[in-house]
Amino acid sequence: MKKIVLGVIVGIVVIGGGILLMLKGNGNSSNNNSAGQPVITNDFASVPDDATLLANLKAAGLDALGAEGTVLHIHQHIDIVINGKNVEIPGHVGIGTTFISPLHTHDNTGILHVESPVQKDFKLTQFFQEWGITFNDNCIGTNCADDSHKLVVGVSGAPVAHVDDIVLHAHDEIEIWYGDKNANPDLIKNYEFTGGL
């Protein structure tokens, strides 16, 4: 009888341990990305942790730099408007503990900093990929064009048909607008950069 009871107890412990390991292994949050896989959170308020940012940079074709580059140093301003509400871009997107992306934010003003050690074209979609936000011709985050909504993207007031074509230039004003399909947004044409930006 003692052997049967002991066997049942051992079985319960083994099964319980297996369940705990399984649950722990399924914790796929951006704060526990030890596997180094790119993560799309579509959470506008979040900033990727180091492991997620490194994976997202790799997927976006961006380097993890030891310091801000000085060969190319330009700025853009991004406005995101979803159903009439402005969405704040958090500070420190693209900034890790010991490294930095050539595309990053320092604060929540919507100013994107492009600071690269090489002269090359960078694309807007790369910034959203490193941030972990879906951005394509139909969607911004989980907000996708459908029977009653549309996505309109403009650079300095001019609509752009394909977001993959948006190369970042100095002092671009970029607006990403999602809302009623029958609305005609008056796209923002410019932004007043101050403080030597």
The CATH number for 173's domain is 2.170.130
- The reply to whether 89 and 164 lie within a common domain is yes
In a domain, 136, yes or no: yes
- The reply to whether 2 and 54 lie within a common domain is no
Q: Is 77 helix (H, G, I), strand (E, B) or coil?
A: strand
Q: Model-level pTM?
A: 0.82
- The reply to whether 26 and 72 lie within a common domain is no
- The reply to whether 69 and 23 lie within a common domain is no
- The reply to whether 130 and 158 lie within a common domain is yes
- The reply to whether 84 and 176 lie within a common domain is yes
Other Cβ atoms closer than 10 A to 14: 10
CB 33 within 8 A of CB 119: no
Q: How many domains does the structure of the chain reveal?
A: 2
Would you state the pLDDT for residue 21?
A: 34
- The reply to whether 26 and 55 lie within a common domain is no
CB 87 within 8 A of CB 108: no
User: What is the amino acid identity at position 37?
Assistant: Q
CB 169 within 8 A of CB 76: yes
Rounded CA gap, 56 and 63, in Å?
10
Would you state the pLDDT for residue 32?
A: 57
In a domain, 192, yes or no: no
Would you state the pLDDT for residue 196?
A: 86
Would you state the pLDDT for residue 34?
A: 58
pLDDT, one tens digit for every residue, the chain (197 residues): 444 444 444 444 334 444 333 333 333 334 556 557 899 999 999 999 999 999 999 999 999 999 999 999 999 999 999 999 999 999 999 999 999 999 999 999 999 999 999 999 999 999 999 999 999 999 999 999 999 999 999 999 999 999 999 999 999 999 999 999 999 999 999 999 998 89
- The reply to whether 68 and 150 lie within a common domain is yes
Domain hosting 98: range is: 50-180
Would you state the pLDDT for residue 36?
A: 77
- The reply to whether 23 and 59 lie within a common domain is no
Q: What are phi and psi of 125, to 5 degrees?
A: -60, -30
- The reply to whether 4 and 57 lie within a common domain is no
